[in-house]
Amino acid sequence: MNNLVEIKDLAKTYHTKKEDVEAICNISLDIKEGEFIAIVGSSGCGKSTLLSILANLEDKSKGEINFHKKDFVIGYMLQNDCLFDWLTILDNATLGLDIKKKKTKENIDYVERLLKTYDLESFKDKYPKELSGGMKQRTALIRTLAIRPDILLLDEPFSALDYQTRLAVSDDVYKIIKKEHKTVIMVTHDLAEAISLADRVVVLSKRPCHIKKIYEIKLTNKSNPIENRKAKEFSEYYDKIWQDLDVVI
Amino acid sequence: MSIMIKSGKTSMSSFKKEKRFNLLVLITQISIIVIFLILWELLTRWQVLNSFIFSSPSLILKTIKDLLINGNLLNHILTTFIETAIAFILGIVLGLIFAIIMYSFKFIAKVCDPFLTLINSLPKVALGPILIIWIGANTKSIIVMALLINLIVSIITIYNGFLNIDNNKIRLLKSLGATKGQILRKLIIPASLQTILSSLKLNISMSLIGVIMGEFLVSKEGLGYLIMYGTQVFNLNLVMSGIVLLLIFSYILYKLISLLEHKLLK
């Protein structure tokens, strides 16, 4: 498959009054079309910074990011759903279109279809406070999908949910992403989540972070994330990655 | 088994208990007012309190009735109302505009910060005499007086409300490529509705303070004028009536704002 995004020697240094803090040093990574990549690393290692740079929210200090497509659209999903309390679910889902001034009939129809497919149609005139945590997260995903992104950047997308909901929602989100054939980069600190969802897991070192290892996740009978956790290779990957992270308590 | 029945009973009556508790609070509140009024009336009738200095409920009622029939009480109330309304609306509009400017331009916010604190800590009443000289002994200085008192507080409250908005939501809009104007329109202002509304409540009381203060200093009409005039001619019935009317007046204004808040936040 073709490379969709190529990251070359990316580096990021923060300049504070006292000193220069190196957050990311020389990261190179190719992302193929349709691939699901999970990035793991200890907290504060700069993995979220990496996503922020990709999402154009922060400037890089060095290196190159090449998008192999014209008018590349990025969908960025944050830790909490960030739904606006004063907008209905439909208005929340079309927020991105509204901002980009692409609220055409065709695009709204697309969002309505997404809401219908993912069981939110009857809630489209309701407000976020009337929805469960999982439904809110699904709305947030549809808001991200509405702008038809070429790549989805997920920054710990499930960390605000409790454990059970988290499993169910990650399963849900995975199915939606696969069905819509999206390329994904997900940052997480949950190893099990990374292994069960991703095609490749990128392990980052401690700050300043560079790529320590990349695992191709090959599970027997790979299906949905919850089933994947039962695969016999699962725990092997888990142990290896855990050791790579080199956690000091 | 018996324990279960018992616990069921308690949870049933806890709702009733709360209702009774609230009723008790209300009855006590009303009793306090009634007892206070009766005591006041009786003490002045028995001449324990001098009614010339302390007035009395019946004298106040009579004064208000006389004012309604002979004096132009409605005119006084209307004057105070119009002055308060103008100061209030100006305060909230200018406050919102200043807050938006400060939020949009970090430089201006930084520059203004110490001045705002400085002006905020100054008792604005002290500027009254200067205002009269600069603007004149007219309605304009009353409104400027009220504006001085309510504007700074409005700016600070609304601006702080803007600053407290969830940074993640701003990031979300930025990742969608939103402009500064879009962030302001789509997020900052709707998300601050609660803060803006509570600043309205603060603003209305501040406006009223300013207007009464201004009327004390310059006016020929209004509730503040009634109180001031009453003091000057030593008619304490008039002073007390003015205060009672002001109490009712400000309570109604406050309730109107609360009603608006309730409607908008629904």
Is A185 near chain B, with CB under 8 Å? Answer: no
Cis amide bond preceding A128, omega within 30? no
CB contact under 8 A, A78 and B193: no
Q: Is the pLDDT of residue B204 over 60?
A: yes
Position A77 in a domain: no
Q: Is the pLDDT of residue B8 over 60?
A: no
Distance from the Cα of A55 to chain B's closest Cα (Å) equals 6
Token pair of A239 as six digits:
């142990």
Position A129 in a domain: yes
**A53, A82, A86, A139: best to mutate for the B interface, most B CBs within 10 A:** A82
A66 and A130 part of one domain: no
**Model pLDDT, residue A224:** 81
CB contact under 8 A, B169 and A84: yes
Confidence of residue B3 (pLDDT cuts 50, 70, 90): very low
CATH number, domain containing residue A198: 3.40.50.300
Cα–Cα distances in angstroms (integers) from residue B199 to residues B59, B70, B91, B136, B240, in the given order: 38, 39, 10, 30, 30
**Model pLDDT, residue B12:** 57
What is the count of structural domains for chain A?
2
Position A163 in a domain: yes
Examine the fold and report which residue of A147, A180, A200 is the final residue of a domain before the chain moves on.
Answer: A147
Angle at which helix B139-163 crosses helix B193-218, to 10 degrees, equals 160
Position A78 in a domain: no
Q: Is the pLDDT of residue A118 over 70?
A: yes
Q: Which of residues 154-183 of B touch A (CB under 8 A)?
A: 166, 168-169, 171-178, 182
Confidence of residue A220 (pLDDT cuts 50, 70, 90): confident
Q: Is the pLDDT of residue B54 over 80?
A: yes
Token pair of A143 as six digits:
């808001």
Token pair of A168 as six digits:
């169910």
Cis amide bond preceding A208, omega within 30? yes
Cβ partners under 8 Å of residue A227, min gap 6: A221
Token pair of A61 as six digits:
């200090």
A57 and A178 part of one domain: yes
**Model pLDDT, residue A236:** 84
Torsion-angle region of A246 (φ positive above 0: left; ψ -120 to 50: alpha; else: beta): left
A156-170: average pLDDT: 81
Q: Write out pLDDT tens, residues B112-133.
A: 999 999 999 999 889 888 998 9
Q: Nearest CB to A78: which of B172, B177, B187?
A: B172
A98 neighbourhood in chain B, CB within 8 Å: 186
A66 and A112 part of one domain: no
Percent of chain A past pLDDT 70, that is, above it, reads 98
Q: Write out pLDDT tens, residues B153-181.
A: 999 999 999 999 998 899 999 989 899 99
CB contact under 8 A, B186 and A98: yes
Percent of chain B past pLDDT 70, that is, above it, reads 95
Confidence of residue B97 (pLDDT cuts 50, 70, 90): very high
A105 and A215 part of one domain: no
Cα–Cα distances in angstroms (integers) from residue A119 to residues A114, A123, A147, in the given order: 9, 8, 20
Distance from the Cα of B225 to chain A's closest Cα (Å) equals 44
Domain span at A66: 3-72+150-245
**CB-side neighbour CA atoms (13 Å) of A104:** 4
- For chain B, the first-to-last Cα distance in angstroms comes to 44
Q: Nearest CB to A80: which of B168, B173, B193?
A: B168
Q: Is the pLDDT of residue B1 over 50?
A: no
A143 and A155 part of one domain: no
Examine the fold and report which residue of A127, A147, A167 is the final residue of a domain before the chain moves on.
Answer: A147
**Model pLDDT, residue B70:** 85
User: What rounded mean pLDDT belongs to chain A?
Assistant: 86
Q: Write out pLDDT tens, residues B57-70.
A: 999 999 999 999 98
Cα separation, B255 vs A183, in Å, equals 55
Residue B254, SS3? helix
Name residue B246's amino acid: L
Token pair of A196 as six digits:
């069960």
**Model pLDDT, residue B223:** 92
Q: Nearest CB to B169: which of A76, A82, A100?
A: A82
Contact indicator for B235, B172 with CB cutoff of 8 Å? no
Choose the most confident range, by mean pLDDT, from A42-56, A150-164, B32-46, B186-200. B32-46
A154 and A142 part of one domain: no
Q: Is the pLDDT of residue B10 over 70?
A: no
**Model pLDDT, residue A190:** 86
Token pair of A74 as six digits:
């990025």
A74 neighbourhood in chain B, CB within 8 Å: 175
A106 and A210 part of one domain: no
Position A64 in a domain: yes
The beta strand positions in A33-179, using DSSP E, are 36-40, 62-67, 74-77, 151-155
Q: Is the pLDDT of residue B74 over 50?
A: yes
Residue in chain A lying closest to B266 (CA) = A86
A68 and A155 part of one domain: yes
Estimate to the nearest angstrom the gap between the alpha carbon of B21 and the chain centroid. Answer: 29
Q: In what order do the strands lie in the sheet with A20-32?
A: A20-32, A3-15, A62-67
Examine the fold and report which residue of A121, A147, A173 is the final residue of a domain before the chain moves on.
Answer: A147
Q: Which residue has the higher pLDDT, A77 or A43?
A: A77
CB contact under 8 A, B190 and A86: yes
Q: Write out pLDDT tens, residues A45-63.
A: 778 888 888 888 888 888 8
A125 and A173 part of one domain: no
Nearest in space to B178 (alpha carbons), one of A152, A82, A96: A96
Contact indicator for B219, B132 with CB cutoff of 8 Å? no
Position A167 in a domain: yes
**Model pLDDT, residue A63:** 86
**Model pLDDT, residue A80:** 82
- If you count residue pairs, one on A and one on B, with CB atoms under 8 Å apart, how many are there? 41
Position A49 in a domain: yes
Is A130 near chain B, with CB under 8 Å? Answer: no
Neighbours of B105 (CB within 10 A): 13
**Model pLDDT, residue B2:** 44
A220-231: average pLDDT: 80
Q: Write out pLDDT tens, residues A22-47.
A: 888 888 889 988 899 999 887 777 78
A213 and A229 part of one domain: yes
A162 and A241 part of one domain: yes
Position A99 in a domain: yes
**Model pLDDT, residue B11:** 56
Q: Is the pLDDT of residue A94 over 90?
A: yes
Q: Which helix or strand (DSSP H or E) is residue A185 part of?
A: strand A183-187
A239 and A154 part of one domain: yes
